[in-house]
Amino acid sequence: MDHQAVSTETVVKGPDISVVVPCYNESANVAPLVKALEQALTGRRWEVIFVDDNSPDHTSQRVRDLARNDARVRGICRIGRRGLSSAVIEGALSSSAQVVAVMDGDLQHDESRLGALIDAVLNNTCDVAVGSRHVEGGNNAGLANAWRHVLSDGGIWLAQRVLPVKLTDPMSGFFALRQETFAAIAPRLSGTGFKILLDLLLSAPKPLRVQEVPCGFRPRVAGESKLDALVMLQFAALLLDKFAKGWVPLRFVAFCMVGLAGVGTNLVVMQCARLAGAHFSLAQAIGTVAAMILNFFLDNNFTYRDRRLRGWACMRGLVLFMLVCSVGALADVGIARMIYGQNHMLNEASLAGAILAVVWNYAMSSTVVWRS
């Protein structure tokens, strides 16, 4: 007589909350953060998703070690991809929880405020709950020096000029929203840079309801800060991308911004060479080489930050970049001369040559120098 086996295993429900933690070189902070979340989210079904960009300090291995003994810990190790915003996108889209919360992996965000953020979303009082340093009860003591205060305050001022909603801390990286809300906006996100909250608010098809929750910003215990001037340049490029409604690639916008810096460098170095006694052709050549070198290192650390070249690959990239730009310069002169010879319109001829050179340099840089 056949007996049909009946499973007695209990089906365990999935988490209600996913805490997404983008990280790079945060190995020392993984275990303390999990322990802090355990205390902050007592009584709730939660998981934490560490999204690590293949950190050389073995952050992903530390996550795996913890995950073997704790099913609430998950990890995503990304190879060949870099960036906080894209890491958050991958982590949030991998979640099946009702609510997704985002926080940094450096222990600077006050995890005790997670409950307030999550409840604000679950109670439907807002679409996005933001941990704010700039409302009553919040503080930004964790900003280590005056330079970081300047960068943060400048970014906040600029973001507030363009946001469709009122927000005192648009630079916050500590927030929560429903997973379905995130998933609906995700196809519109640029996924570049470090300010994913700003990207979400600017990319939503209609203004999101925002509620700010006061939170502290603690000093970093281990690791090093990622906030620098290049991050703020990426932030400015994100705003330009949103103004262009996605018609112009964000990387191309950044490439052009770097190019403008190169133009200024060329002029300054050329004038210095002239003052030192060099004739015009030599001075122009020195200025051009200086501009190429500056542009390469800015592009390597800013425009192509996710494909950054290091060591000998960096030196090889510099040589290729200078060759690419030299061809672009020759094309610029040739096209401008041809158009000027046809209609004798100097400005139009110069503009056409410059546009061709920029497009050539960008296309070849993306496919040859910093190929993905």
Whether the Cβ atoms of residue 216 and residue 133 lie closer than 8 Å to each other: yes
The full set of domain ranges for the chain reads: 15-225, 248-367
Angle, CA 241 vertex, CA 371 and CA 319 arms, to 5° = 30
Whose tokens are 């999550």? That residue is 118
Angstrom distance (rounded) from CA 308 to CA 326: 22
Question: What does pTM read for this prediction?
Answer: 0.68
CA torsion sign for 12, 13, 14, 19 is negative
Count Cα atoms within 13 angstroms, Cβ side, for 249.
Answer: 10
How is residue 342 written in tokens? Answer: 């046809």
The answer for residues whose C-beta is within 8 angstroms of residue 330's C-beta and 6 or more apart is none
Q: Bridge partners of 169? A: none
φ/ψ of 204, rounded to 5, equals -60, 135
Superfamily of domain 15-225: Spore Coat Polysaccharide Biosynthesis Protein SpsA; Chain A (3.90.550.10)
Q: DSSP strand E in the chain: where? A: 17-23, 46-52, 73-77, 99-102, 128-132, 175-178, 210-214
The per-residue pLDDT string of the chain (372 residues; one tens digit each, 9 = 90 and over) reads 455 555 556 777 889 999 999 999 999 999 999 999 999 999 999 999 999 999 999 999 999 999 999 999 999 999 878 788 889 999 999 999 999 999 998 888 999 999 999 999 999 999 999 998 878 877 666 555 565 566 666 666 666 666 778 888 888 889 999 999 999 999 988 777 667 898 898 889 899 999 999 988 777 555 455 554 555 566 666 666 666 565 667 778 778 888 888 888 878 888 888 888 888 778 777 888 888 899 899 888 888 877 888 889 999 999 999 898 888 777 666 665 665 566 655 555 555 656 777 778 888 888 888 886
3-state secondary structure of 183: helix
H-helix or E-strand containing 233? helix 229-243
